[in-house]
Amino acid sequence: MMTAPLRFRSTRGQAPVLTFDAALLQGLAPDGGLYIPEEIPKLSPAVWRQASSFPEMATGVLAQWLSGTFSEESVAAVVGEALSFPVPLVPLGDALYVLELFHGPTLSFKDFGARTMARFAREVLARRAEQLLVLVATSGDTGSAVADGFAGLEGVRVGLLYPYGQVSPVQERQLIVRRPGVQAFAVEGTFDDCQRLVKTAFADPDFSSVRLSSANSINVGRLLPQMLYYIWAVAVGGFDEVVFCVPSGNLGNLTGGVLAALSGLPVRRFIAAHNANDFFPRFLAGEGPAFGPSRRTLSNAMDVGRPSNFERLEALLGSQMSQWIWGTSVSDKETLERIRRVYASTGYIADPHTAVGLEAAQRYREATGDQAPLVVLATAHPAKFPEVVRRALDFEPQVPERLARLWEAETSVVRIEATLDALKTHLLPHVVATRT
């Protein structure tokens, strides 16, 4: 039976509703809102009770959400290519678990969204005989996940902008390693300059002949895959009910979990674990929305003062937000202390983002007395942050093979001034060449 495809509406209600493929190319809605599903499909409990492998479970879920837009066959092909890495649930004792989301090629959970979105985009571009230029401003994990996800796909070129001298050595390596169809730019300026360049490129007539995408975390193509590992954790853990603790910045990961819960996954509560960028915990505590400038911390992928997915959470949960989500903010000092304590008591080495989650989980249990099984999402591999781990533990984590290999790989980076002219000079010939 063919059902009408699920459609996506803007959180601001002033833009046309779109099917997934159109929303994916659109990114931000024309009214400035973010796309959310018009209705939430209900999952059968068999999805997590009888799951046999991650790709099989993921295919079933996404095929249901995207029915009428993508065939089950093409969903299976996308998932099989994009999500072919392990997702282990590691018990730490006392019904506390970490779900390791860092076994993808760039060692952070962003591989799930970026790799899946890229392959859905390839399908849509092929159907429409269109090409895409992805422009990303990045200060860390997003850029490498997007570059890796989109590299070498037919019809796609990627420009990667990062602030020269302001990312860690591991992060920089992951950005500049040579990938087909990808050009990295080391911008002489700040992260904000990089973002400004991307924004002005989007509005510039010289780029009007190409379809541009930022592939940023608000894209529905990145959001939907972020439901999948929540479902997988319940499947593997065999939980009747579970609390998820999510190290958060832009709140995209958490929004993925909320979608899974709204479609029937037995989630008791979410914990939003933030670093010193504490807008959301303060909002949950009743202080009202008051965004602030971002502050730099040791868990830098969560240094977000104005979380873009907040608008989605409000649209999805409304006044029930604080029943569903418990929030807390963790300092750098407490992050280092948590890395030490967890290592001392279990031998587990947590990266700084995961450590913020582990500290928040402990606080949640103390504050509420809730002893339900609790899963902390481990969002990055500790080897991505050797300096922080050394500060906490006096040694550096073992470097996995796929990260070690980067130091032998060829690199390609162009250093540019922070001006649109400089970007155009180096990027446009590259793009035009792909359009012939």
Ligand X SMILES: *Cc1c(COP(=O)(O)O)cnc(C)c1O
User: Which residue's CB is nearer to ligand X, number 26 or number 253?
Assistant: 253
User: Based on CB atoms, which residue is closest to ligand X, 51 or 227?
Assistant: 227
- Is residue 161 classed as helix, strand or coil in its secondary structure? strand
First to last CA, the chain: 42
Q: Any residues with CB less than 8 A from the CB of 281 and at least 6 apart, and which?
A: 272, 274, 327, 328, 329
Q: Which of 42, 110, 333, 384 is catalytic?
A: 110
CB nearer to ligand X: pick between 28 and 77: 28
Handedness of CA 321, 139, 147, 376 (dihedral sign): negative
DSSP character at residue 4? P
Residue 185 C-beta: closest distance to ligand X, Å? 21
Minimum separation from the CB atom of position 253 to ligand X (A): 4
* Cβ distance to ligand X smaller for residue 213 or 379: 379
Q: What is the DSSP letter of 418?
A: S
DSSP secondary structure letter of residue 372: S
- Give least dist CB 27 to ligand X, A: 16
Task: Check: CB of residue 292 under 8 Å from CB of residue 394.
Answer: no
Q: What secondary structure does DSSP assign to 193-218, as a single string?
A: HHHHHHHHHHH-GGGTTSEEE---TT
Sign of torsion, CA 390 393 398 402? negative
Whether 333 is catalytic:
no
Which residues, in sequence order, are bridge partners of residue 376? 98, 245
Taking the complex as a whole, the smallest distance from the CB of residue 302 to ligand X amounts, in Å, to: 5
Binding site for ligand X (CB under 6 A): 108, 110, 141, 217, 247-253, 301-302, 353, 379-380
Tokens found for residue 271: 């914990």
In the numeric block, the tokens 């001298």 are attached to 165
CA separation for the pair 317, 200 (Å, rounded): 34
User: What is the C-alpha to C-alpha distance for residues 393 and 387, in angstroms, rounded to an integer?
Assistant: 10
Of the pair 96, 388, the CB lying nearest ligand X is at 388
- Nearest distance in Å: CB 277, ligand X: 10
Task: Identify which of residues 124 and 218 has a Cβ nearer to ligand X in the complex.
Answer: 218
For ligand X, the closer of residues 155 and 257 by Cβ is: 257
Residue 132, helix vs strand vs coil: strand
DSSP code, position 409: S
H-helix segments, 263-385 = 279-282, 310-317, 321-324, 332-346, 352-368
Question: Min. distance of Cβ 62 from ligand X in angstroms?
Answer: 19
Shortest CB 281 distance to ligand X, Å? 13
Q: Around Cβ 428, how many Cβ atoms within 10 Å?
A: 16
3-state secondary structure of 89: strand
Residue 26 vs 299, nearer CB to ligand X: 299
Which helix H or strand E contains 90, and what residues bound it? Answer: strand 89-93
Cα separations in angstroms, 23 against 6, 30, 161, 267, 418? 11, 11, 24, 28, 30
Judged by DSSP in three states, 52 sits in coil
Residues labelled catalytic: 110
